[in-house]
Amino acid sequence: MIRLRAREPGTQSTHHNLLFRYGTNRFDPFSGRDMIVFVQIQNAGANFFEKHIIENLNVVEKSLCVCTKKNGRKQNCRCHSDNTILRTGDTPWLFSRLSGGWACGVHAGWTQLVGCVDRVLDEVSGEPRRRRYLYITFLREPVRRFRSEWLRFVEQRETRPSRVLCGSREHALPDVQECFKGVEPAEVTLEEFALCKDNLALNRQTRMLADLRLVNCYDGSINQTQRDMILLHSAKTNLHHMAFFGIAEFPNISQRMFEAAFGVQFRSRPRHRFNRLSSYLKRSPISSNTWSAQTEATVRQVNHLDMQLYEYGKELLFERFHHLFKEGPREDEDPDWADGDDFFMDR
């Protein structure tokens, strides 16, 4: 059993290191104090893994979450410490899109969640409580992730908040639409999408995992080179300190690491939920003649922070996996596992 670092008495720590030594300080969804907080980065596989946790976590005979459905799709799930009662004010053990309904904002990043989760849960419980927050997230190969977000933009299916709370005050967000006034989204190429400086899809993984308060959030007063260096270092630090992180191209390794970190088992392996994306891309006129070596190079260049963060995360994941299981990645991994995350989620 991997031991999770507990909150020190009298502190307001919001995330915990994954410690590679055996102990008894295991995750307990029934304790009323353990809370998994999911930083769900767009198009990175987080939605798939969230559903995997809700549907297939083998902790008790019946599901830990009770979900309502609309048109056959899960709309809201109550993942509480006692699903036999489900009283108002019961303590949830999972804070995520399906279980919380974007209570801290749509696809809230690390900074938003740290400043919001405790307050939201105190309001739910009706009183302040001491909790152990266990932050988790998923990374995805940046070029694949960026292309998936572009496809959502082209289909006009992207939900983008105009303002966000950061550093105790609201900040106006850049709007990618400013780059394409008078242009239909379906006509925007991937390279044009990548070259828009107001595009929050750029280096999204780094920005969502970094402490934005270190760079005055979104006011842009810090030199860009210095800002990039601070954000990347902060994102790496927060990733390292999370109770768990997975990588979309390695779903089986990620699942085994989750099971080891939390002392739980899944009923099944993570499966490729949607196999339609590849055929959709082949049929779609918007994707024809838009994916060249030059375009890929451009996407890599403008997402240089995410490229560095991904390589760091992959190296760290493999190092931890080898330390625990004395083996490396196997050939049965599914690099296309996250294809369609968000893109087909509401179809």
Catalytic residues: 107
**3-class secondary structure, 65:** coil
| Single-letter residue type at 195 | L
Strand partners, 132: 34
Give the integer Cα–Cα distance in Å for 91 and 112. 21
Nearest to 302 by CA among 201, 212, 210: 201
Q: Which amino acid is at 205?
A: Q
Here the tokens at position 284 are 């779609």
How many whole angstroms separate alpha carbon 231 and alpha carbon 209? 9
How does DSSP classify residue 218? Answer: T
Dmax over CA atoms of the chain, in Å, equals 60
Q: Taking a C-beta distance cutoff of 8 angstroms, is the pair 211, 111 a contact? A: yes
Measure Cα distances from 273 to 9, 270, 313, 331 in Å.
Answer: 42, 9, 24, 19
| DSSP run (H or E) holding 261 | helix 251-262
Report the SS3 class of residue 73.
strand
Q: Strand pairing of 66-70 and 132-139?
A: unpaired
Tell me the C-alpha distance between 54 and 329, whole Å.
26
Q: Are the CB atoms for 143 and 166 separated by under 8 Å?
A: no
Q: Which helix (H) or strand (E) holds 18?
A: strand 18-22
Kindly report the number of other CB atoms within 10 A of residue 18's CB atom. Answer: 20
Q: Is 20 helix (H, G, I), strand (E, B) or coil?
A: strand
Radius of gyration of the chain (CA): 20
For residues 5 and 19, the answer to whether their CB atoms sit within 8 Å is: yes
